[in-house]
Amino acid sequence: MKEVEYDAEDAELGDFPHYMLKEIYDQPETIENAIRGRLSFDEATAKLGGLNMTPQELRAVDRIILAGCGTASHAAMVGEYLLESLARIPTEVEIASELRYRNLPTSTNTLLFVISQSGETIDTLGAMREGQRKGHRVLAITNGVGSTISRESDGGSYMHAGPEIGVAATKSFTSQCAMLTLLALLLGRMHHLPVSEGIRVINGLRALPDKIREILKLDAEIKVIAEKYAHAKGMLFFGRQFNYPTAVEAALKMKEISYIFASGHPSAELKHGIIALVNEDVPSVFIAPHDTVFVKNVSTIEEVRARSGPVIAVTTPGGEEQLRTICDDVIVVPESAEWVSPILCSIPLQLFSYHVACALGCDVDKPRNLAKSVTVE
Ligand code: M6R
């Protein structure tokens, strides 16, 4: 791996009241840093030099296992959708703490990838070492420069997101998603992703910083919505396909900093049990961009409405009109391709949980019982 020094300014709070808010606002730049120098228009692909693998070795990969903990495992879930749809490579997500004690059958062409912001999480480190003990090459996506995982891994890439001080992972999640998009693009172009699709992915990534800036302008509007729901007894988060991981991640953000019980689910799971929790005191947040599953999300929203559950939706302009007629509150983010949608849809929900926690007077940057980096088992 190539080391990159952090700029001391990156760790300064400036005018922000909390690191979490500053780090949410850092995201146009952190995404730019993640993709800078890693896109090739000429070849319609990505370049990830630190992987230490020849094109032949990369091409031979026929299965990928992504492992991480907490937010990193949610980015891995996004990666699963990305690698399967862009690269057509079977991909599984394993929670690192489970992977290290499982006897997972793997073959020579199985690639193990660990994801960790800090690069110090003991369970992720343990999963990496167990993979290496079995003779696998284990690659890593990390942010912590010179961290144990970055040093011991067999290759990988840094996110270049700068220090993340707030306990709640924000910019590291979106950077991990961006890195996994690069990986999926690289592997996709080695298999059957045509040039035209490769260019579409590149353009989608390059458009992100400006779209994130647009989303950050919604901060005041999101604060008003958050204050309205801050005293909820619990919250449910729903999404489908690429935005199922977004729902799980948004729920983790909510519970860790506001102490409101929250859970994230694939939307269609509502009717398999979760619907029993729906009532007027439990808002449901739907991540429902105007995509191929929009209509399905709308019918699930109707189910919640029919049981008096308040609904907040995150959507894109194409879905706004319809959702305004059936939801209590609607947050509109810019239209995007589905591969980058989790990056854009997670940001308003980071702001949502931040403002809920502030309204409740919680210690946003240092929530109770939590450490930034979990270095004990
Ligand atoms: O440093 P890591 O990415 O390995 O950390 C993994 C988790 O401990 C971390 O993402 C945790 O879930 C966050 N506090 C979530 O916001």
Classify residue 115 by burial, with Cβ atoms within 10 Å: 0-12, 13-18, 19+: buried
CB 97: neighbour CB atoms within 10 A?
Answer: 19
The last residue of a domain, from among 176, 199, 214 = 214
Alpha carbon nearest to ligand 1 atom 9, residue:
70
CA-374 nearest atom, ligand 1: 8
Whether 340 has a pLDDT exceeding 80, the answer reads: yes
Q: Which pLDDT does position 368 carry in this prediction?
A: 87
| 135-180 confidence digits (pLDDT tens) | 999 999 999 889 999 999 999 999 999 999 999 999 999 999 999 9
Pocket test for ligand 1, best of 374, 375, 376, 377 (most atoms within 8 A of CB): 374
Nearest to 159 by CA among 137, 174, 138: 174
Please check whether residue 65 lies inside any domain of the structure.
yes
Whether 297 has a pLDDT exceeding 50, the answer reads: yes
Pocket test for ligand 1, best of 18, 23, 69 (most atoms within 8 A of CB): 69
> Which CATH number goes with the domain that contains 276?
3.40.50.10490
CB 194: neighbour CB atoms within 10 A?
Answer: 11
On whether both 71 and 158 belong to a single domain, the answer is yes
On whether both 168 and 62 belong to a single domain, the answer is yes
- Read off the amino acid at residue 235: M
Arithmetic mean of pLDDT, 121-129: 96
Q: Which pLDDT does position 2 carry in this prediction?
A: 42
Whether 228 has a pLDDT exceeding 80, the answer reads: yes
Tally of domains within the chain: 2
Q: Which position has the token pair 């599953």?
A: 293
Whether 4 has a pLDDT exceeding 50, the answer reads: no
Q: Which pLDDT does position 335 carry in this prediction?
A: 97
Q: What percent of the chain has pLDDT over 70?
A: 97
CA-121 nearest atom, ligand 1: 4
Query: Is the distance from the beta carbon of residue 284 to the nearest atom of ligand 1 less than 6 Å?
Result: no
CB 143: neighbour CB atoms within 10 A?
Answer: 28
Query: Is the distance from the beta carbon of residue 177 to the nearest atom of ligand 1 less than 6 Å?
Result: no
Report how far residue 275's alpha carbon sits from residue 279's, in angstroms, rounded to the nearest whole number: 9
Arithmetic mean of pLDDT, 7-28: 88
Q: Which pLDDT does position 100 carry in this prediction?
A: 87
> What does the DSSP 8-state code read for residue 277?
G
Q: Would you say 270 and 286 are in contact if contact means Cβ atoms under 8 Å apart? A: no
On whether both 320 and 247 belong to a single domain, the answer is yes
Pocket test for ligand 1, best of 23, 117, 365 (most atoms within 8 A of CB): 117
The last residue of a domain, from among 214, 231, 260 = 214
Report how far residue 146's alpha carbon sits from residue 158's, in angstroms, rounded to the nearest whole number: 10
On whether both 269 and 210 belong to a single domain, the answer is no
Q: Which pLDDT does position 96 carry in this prediction?
A: 96
On whether both 295 and 146 belong to a single domain, the answer is no
Q: Which position has the token pair 């070849």?
A: 43
Query: Is the distance from the beta carbon of residue 257 to the nearest atom of ligand 1 less than 6 Å?
Result: no
Please check whether residue 368 lies inside any domain of the structure.
no
On whether both 210 and 316 belong to a single domain, the answer is no
Arithmetic mean of pLDDT, 266-273: 95
Q: Is 140 helix (H, G, I), strand (E, B) or coil?
A: strand
CB 340: neighbour CB atoms within 10 A?
Answer: 23
CA-71 nearest atom, ligand 1: 10
Please report which confidence band the pLDDT of residue 7 belongs to, taking 50, 70 and 90 as the band edges.
Answer: low
| 309-330 confidence digits (pLDDT tens) | 999 999 999 999 999 999 999 9
Arithmetic mean of pLDDT, 183-199: 97
Domain of 116, in residue numbers:
12-214
User: For the chain, what is the radius of gyration of the CA atoms?
Assistant: 20
On whether both 106 and 182 belong to a single domain, the answer is yes
Please report which confidence band the pLDDT of residue 11 belongs to, taking 50, 70 and 90 as the band edges.
Answer: confident
On whether both 44 and 134 belong to a single domain, the answer is yes
On whether both 181 and 201 belong to a single domain, the answer is yes
Report how far residue 164's alpha carbon sits from residue 20's, in angstroms, rounded to the nearest whole number: 8
Higher pLDDT, 372 or 302: 302
Query: For the sheet containing 155-158, what is the strand order?
Result: 91-95, 63-68, 110-116, 138-142, 155-158
Report how far residue 95's alpha carbon sits from residue 66's, in angstroms, rounded to the nearest whole number: 8
Whether 373 has a pLDDT exceeding 90, the answer reads: no
Please check whether residue 370 lies inside any domain of the structure.
no
- The β-bridge relationship of strands 329-332 and 155-158 is unpaired
Q: What percent of the chain has pLDDT over 90?
A: 90
CA 310 centroid distance within chain: 25
Report how far residue 61's alpha carbon sits from residue 110's, in angstroms, rounded to the nearest whole number: 6
Whether 9 has a pLDDT exceeding 80, the answer reads: no
Q: Which pLDDT does position 305 carry in this prediction?
A: 96
Query: Is the distance from the beta carbon of residue 373 to the nearest atom of ligand 1 less than 6 Å?
Result: yes
Q: Which pLDDT does position 6 carry in this prediction?
A: 55
What Cα–Cα distance (Å) separates residue 306 from each residue in 129, 147, 228, 278, 283? 50, 50, 21, 10, 13
Please check whether residue 190 lies inside any domain of the structure.
yes
